Structure 1
């Protein structure tokens, strides 16, 4: 009886925790609504299954508890029960997968006015590239990655000369502006994840993955790597700041372009060796 009661209390506590959780309904980005709706549908379906299974267990524990003289009925299989379970499981899985297909379509259907921002992952840091005055990102290639060109920007592409390069620093985005996030890794698998934005996507070496969103609230948010990428995985964190238009413009003007970073360093004149100074007679 005690075990059956504990199982019932687990169900009641789980439902109350879900209903009363304080982290619901805090939209911060445009994709928050439809992703959360999918999560809610998944929670209801899995929650109903969880409730039914645990309550059935509680019933069985109570109904078939030990009694003197009672004998168990052995039934090795039941085709009728198996058919019902297969059908119900198929319907439940389809109900969870179908909304995800629509959400995925929205997640990758980028508006025409979205600004492209490239995120480059490397053990164990985040770097970024934003379009310059021409509004276009130049091409890049992993084969071009070097200490002088850590993001592998193509120096022969004129569109890349004015690209803004942010290496191992914070990323800023303007509020209420759609952004297409291009994701690239130059070493191993990573995953760009901003929990508050409901934004998450794998980064596969040799591929460019992407998604889009519109930040709808200014603030500071943490960037995490959600794919085990080596011993420094837990420390692969970054910061994303959503600014007002004015603050974003001010920050952007303070950043360096690819052309500025790749320009040859100016070397000062060598000091004149001692004893070689010209003598004026």
Structure 2
């Protein structure tokens, strides 16, 4: 009976913890709604299975407890039960996976008015690149990286000359404006993760991965690397500041462009 009571308390406590959990319904970005819907479906399916399994185990512990003279019956297989369990598992897994396909489609279908923002990762630093007045990001290649050109922007691409370069600083975003996050790694596998934005994506060397979202609340949020990338992995942190349009524009005007970065790295003339 002690085991049965422990299982019953575990079951009730788990359900209450889920129902009373305070983290629900705190939207900070546009993708919260459809990602949360997928999470709720997953919680319902796995929750029903959890309740059923724990209840069944508790029942079996009580129903088939040891009694003098009782002997266990040996049944090597039960085809009906196996078919039922296999079918039920397949349906449950499909019910969890199919909504994810629609969510993934929304996650990567970028609206036309989304502003591009490049996030560049390296051991163990976050850097960012924003378009200049032309609204376009210039081409960049890892092989073009140098001390004077830390993000490898193509010097011959005029679209990149006015790009805003932010090396190891804060990324600022305007609230209520969709952003197209372009992810690039210049050394090993990293993962761009902002928990409050429901945003997470691997950064694979040699590839550009992406997603989009619209920040809907001002504030300061941590950027984490969610992929083990070396001894400094736990210290690879950054910051996203979401602010009103006027504050964002004032911050943007204080940042250096790629042209200014190149000029600052050139030898100064002597008298």
TM-score by length of 1: 0.95
Unaligned 5+ runs, structure 2: none
- 1:217 aligns to 2:233 (yes or no): no
Aligned residues: 270
User: Aligned with 1:13: secondary structure?
Assistant: helix
Q: Which residue of 1 aligns with 2:182?
A: 182
Separation (CA, whole Å) in 1 of partners of 2:57 and 2:231: 42
The match for 2:266 is 265
How far did 1:182 drift?
0.2
Deviations 1:152-189 (A, max 9, x none): 11111000000000000000000000000000000010
Matched, 1:241 2:241: yes
What per-residue deviation string (whole Å, max 9, x for no partner) do you get for residues 113-140 of structure 1? 0000000000001000000000000001
Query: For residues 91 and 21 of structure 1, what CA distance do their matches in structure 2 show?
Result: 28
**Correspondence for 1:203:** 203
**Distance in 2 (alpha carbons) for counterparts of 1:229 and 1:43:** 31
What pairs with 1:100-119 in structure 2 (closer than 5 Å)? 100-119=100-119
Where do 4+ consecutive residues of structure 1 move more than 3 Å?
none
Displacement, 1:269?
2.8
Q: Which has the larger radius of gyration?
A: 1
Match of 2:38 in 1: 38
Structure 1: distance between partners of 2:68 and 2:232: 60
- SS of residue in 1 equivalent to 2:102: helix
Which residue of structure 2 lines up, in the alignment, with residue 58 of structure 1?
A: 58
Unaligned 5+ residue runs, structure 1?
Answer: 271-281
Greater CA drift, 106-115 or 255-264: 255-264
Map 1:72-91 to 2 at 5 A: 72-91=72-91
Q: Distance in 2 between matches of 1:46 and 1:141?
A: 44
Q: Secondary structure at the match of 1:42?
A: helix
- Correspondence for 1:275: none
What TM-score does the superposition give when structure 2 sets the normalisation length?
0.98
